[in-house]
Structure 1
Amino acid sequence: MKNYSIYILICFVFGWNMLLSQTHNDALKFNLKGRVEVRNTGEPISGVSVSNQMGVFVVTNALGEFVIKTRIGDQLIIEHGDIETLRYDVKKNDDVLILVEDFDSSSIGRSKSVPNISVKHQQLLDAAEEYKTKDIKRSIDLVTQSISILGKRGRKKELARSLSKLGEIYQYHKQLDLAIDNYEDALENNKTIATSLLLGRAYNLTSRFSESIDLLYPLLDFKSMPPQQSVVLYELMGDAKKGEGKTQEALDFYNRGLLIADKNQITSKMIDLNSKIADTYSLGDLSMEAEAYYGNSLELANKSAPKRALQEKEKVADFYNTKSRYNEEINMRKSSLQELKKLKSPNAGVKKIDFGDTITSQRINYKIANAYISQDRYNEAIPFLEKSIVEADSDDDLVVQKDATRKLSEVYKVKGDFTKALDTYQTYVALVDSLYVRKEQEISRATRFNREISSAQNRLKGLEQERELSQSKYDLALTEQELVKESNKRQQLVIYSLIFGLLLTLLAAFFFYRSNQQQKLANNLLALKSLRSQMNPHFIFNALNSVNNFISKSDERSANRYLSDFSKLMRSVLENSEEDFIPLEKELQQLELYIKLEHSRFEDKFDYQISVDENVQVSKFQIPPMLLQPYIENAIWHGLRYRDEKGELLVTIKENIADSIIIAITDNGIGRKKSAEIKTQNQRKQKSKGMGIIKKRVAILNDMYTDKVDIKISDLQSDGTGTKVLFILKREK
């Protein structure tokens, strides 16, 4: 007993010193203003992260300015992807100018649109955070908008922030599986400590402790982690170890986190960790140690926010309850009632505090009554039950009102006052009916919320809900004399089953949709790769036939010149062979080189011209590689080559309506019909595959990029001679 008293005294002195230290340090904090710019030009640098040892983190705005809460003696860490990490020691409360060497200031001019997107993206995420607790649909819609403005490529960091925010929204609304999916997707795009900690917490909440440990354990090796994040890391590791039943390891992690929190005066975490250490000791039936740490957490909480102090008092009271120390529990809860009354007083000078449904007068009175009942002190319990019922009725808290009414009926029954017991029980039954109606309304709202996912399934669940609730009411009417506890369990089972069924429907629809989209994309990419692998050998084979023709004529000079141009063309073709789209300008360069090669062979058969309208901005359009070449090849080999007189090949590009252009390939050759007849008569051994491949490629690309290319083929003249191929190419918005 003597050692126990000394231990309590040490804890009291230690806690008082920490409080004085915290008060002193808070008084020394101030807002430090600063600016980050390029030394030589004076241009501001936006997007630079500035952090300090207190765990405060800010980012410079478009003017390179920042404001950070810090203290004399702290060290600022200045980080950016394009500069070396800088460190600045805070020595006085004056504005700070950070000058950066070796920074490519031209990137600022080239990326004038980047800050606009970044600012808009952050504004949308801030708005989503604001709506997170009030309107989940609106909040998710804002995150969706933040992703849509990022475009199709790059910006993985911004995308990761959006996905992480979406995970936070789902986690707040208890959709933990969806939250985990989004956190994991965010880490795939950009690995950050903050997102890893969020995912670790979600893993712990879903009892996936081993996954949480695997994720968080490597972070223990980071030496430059801000103190706030270090404390959270050790706290989450302790939670995971406690979840696995490894209490000693959990205590080690909690104590390491507490040491950092104490060193950096992170009061909120000092309270949390003391409380969790006490919880862990309590699990191991080490009551003395648990009570000591509960004392620490309660003392710190009393000096902190009023809500936090009340939460900790109730937690300590729950501890007394588990140890059957009912008198101490009652005294603690009565003290909580007094504090709660002061806080809710209009003259308290404290803003309205929302405690949720965990700390209310009716709930505390109900628990006090239960403590009296556990000691068979029924007369003392009755006033607290009656007060709990009145307050619950005033606050429209049907759950506590129902439980307190049931308990009051049981107390009257034990005391032998069966008339009051029956009257109170009938009141309880009426409350159960009201609670059923309210639950029906809540489930109806949930059904409407998920109707877009599966309306048919929701209707089935709604009918099942009505059937279950009706059956429960019927059973309750037949068993009015039975214990209320069994009826309450049945009611909860019905509600949880319905909610679980709705969540399963939502998850199944989401995963089915995502799997279908991924499979469709994979199939399209595989088909495009297969077609490109067919296209390139086909083109090379035809070109090598041309080289062979020169060699067979012993025209070495022409063959060498042809091979030189051919190698340039092949290098360009192979470089673009894996792309779905390339700039139109590059495609025209390839096309002109190809026509030049063919013209060197059939110079006496045709002349050619490539014409681009001066109003067409070629640089703004993209086209599938090797799209035009097969049509040029057909025009030369199957049209112009069989003319008796010299023909003409024209390639023209002009404007069309609605952000599109027309590419026309015309030749005055023998025409498609006569070419087919000649081909049939000669029974040519090789059949051109280029056209079929092009049609398949265009079909797949139009499916993936929404009708980007349209192709039309027609005869040039009414007598069937000549061919005209029109390409309508849309600009990517």
Structure 2
Amino acid sequence: MKNYSIYILICFVFGWNMLLSQSQNNALKFNLKGRVEVRDTGRPISGVSVSNDMGVFVVTNGLGEFEITTRVGDHLIIEHNDIETLWYDVEKKDDVLILVEGFESSPTNRSNSLPDIASRHQQLLDDAETFMAKDIEKSIDLVAQSIAILGKRGRKKELARSLSKLGEIYQYHKQLDLAIDNYEDALENNKTISTSLLLGRAYNLTSRFKESIDLLNPLLKVKTMVPNQSALLYELLGDAKKGEGKTKEAIDLYNRGLLIAEKNQNTSKMIDLNSKLADTYSIENQSMEAEAYYGNSLQLATQSEPKRALQEKEKVADFYNTKSRFNEEINMRKSSLQELEKLNAPNVGLKKLELGDTITSQRINYKIANAYISQDKYNEAIPFLEKSIVEADSDDDLVVQKDATRKLSEVYKVKGDFTKALDTYQTYVALVDSLYVRKEQEISRANRFNREIASAQNRLTGLEQERELSQSKYELALTEQELVKESNKRQQLVIYSLILGLLLTLLAAFFFYRSNQQQKLANNLLALKSLRSQMNPHFIFNALNSVNNFISKSDERSANRYLSDFSTLMRSVLENSEEDFIPLEKELQQLELYIKLEHSRFEDKFDYQINIEENVQVAKFQIPPMLLQPYIENAIWHGLRYREEKGELLVTIKENSTDSIIITITDNGIGRKKSAEIKTQNQRKQKSKGMGIIQKRVAILNDMYTDKVDIKISDLQSDGTGTKVLFILKREK
């Protein structure tokens, strides 16, 4: 238990030393980097003086940055003519961001200040939009610049806009995976409805319909969404449901979007939704409904824009084709050719607006020819095929030229004109070879383009990773100023809690120790009581043997006298049987009475003396009851009894020190060695019960009272005769 207490004390001292050591380490100097900027605009403030408790003084540069040698616990003083003096407590070694509110630079400073970051950022994104179709590398580079000017900290909204614009660029150039990655990154930095709609469209284009629905469904609960966004939301959800084959749900969503578009006179969206409703009804083989919605979309498109009307006409013509209404298809496509002629762009392909087709004169002529062939009107088909081939050759459209040439060869073959069929087929074979070479070139260009795109994306990824590494520091800097005092309180709370915990541990250890000692004392008292209860019967048994000896000799007077003395002795022994210690004076009285009894029995065997030195104050010493008796008994029964001549038993008490005395019991009997030799076989097997009890009692009492009694047994003479028992009895302080 003592070791346990020492261990707790060591833990307490060690914990306290750790706290002191940490405090000393925090006082070490280090270089702190920081930046001072306007909270609202993020514009850096130059010429700001920063000083600390050590007297170190620095000034921010043109980027509002500074570096100062300081220590944890120092106070930074931030001063400038145009701002109110600020104080900052240094709690960590991380970079700091000092945000200033209501800063207005003076005329002298304004001319030297950097351009507003927000406006410069937006200008770069606008330029990226301009170059999106013409120069993808230039467009991506402009986005990279827009990210770079944001610095390494904060500005999540601007960063999200840059990433969203980058996604639009990739989506325009059909790099949908990269587009999705950037849209997702943009939403991680700042969730906006516009970016969510862009990502939902990209998911639909890559057939990730479930992800699109999971992303867009929560937006249905947004009450602040503008009508155009709401209509687009229903359209995208309808596209996703149609992609999953849930056409009825898609129709319902399209109709809800159409209702919003009609209410807000959004003609473009009305055309899109009518067209998609027609497509969905067509999938369900509901021709009447499909034709009605196609009619609506075509009418709206005709009133809106000629190019958009042309696209809808081609969609309606494709619908007629699926229903084998070839004459209506032919008339519709001829009308489309007339529209192309009116636009004075018969050979210029319109941009594919995600409707699954490319609208050109050669392709329309090719489709008209196919419609005639489906009716076995080969003579009518041939002029349109020939015109398609000529126009495709003029536009260098090898795909349509190849398909039209092959189809023309088949028509000649069906008509029986095998010569023309063979010539046309040979032309077709040559076109296939040319197309194969071109495809290889296109694949090579595509690979090179993909590498360039990957390189540009890697640059942006590296830039973004650098921002992410510093993002955590930025966020910590924003909250550090508000949490400094709270941090101090928490640190103090931790220290106080640790000290309290150690004190409680020590207190618990003390109570545990005291409880253990009390339990040990109770156990010792129980053991002493048990030993005393064994000692008394042992003594009585030996005394009764002596009485029995007188009776056996018919010595009635001696027996009566012995019994009288014995009863006096027993009364005294029983009175002191419950005590751990009794006055030495009482113990000597009992001892003298016991020796007298034994002397009356063995009168011819020994004489005895009890000598007490005059300077010994017997009354001041305590002794365990019946401690000396077993040794007297051993001296008589195992030493003096076997002498041929009369022996002598001597008990002396003398002073050892001011706090202890020496009690010596000596006899000149046969000695321990010779006594052991003459014992019977049965006696050798048995140990003295009284001596064993005494040894246990002394051990327990010494443990309880700190070595109060010391006993040493030795031979009296060098030849082994006689026995000397030495007691050192300490006085209780």
TM-score, with structure 2 as normaliser: 0.48
Larger Rg computed on CA atoms = 2
The structure with higher relative contact order (CA 8 Å, sep 6+) is: 2
TM-score, with structure 1 as normaliser: 0.48
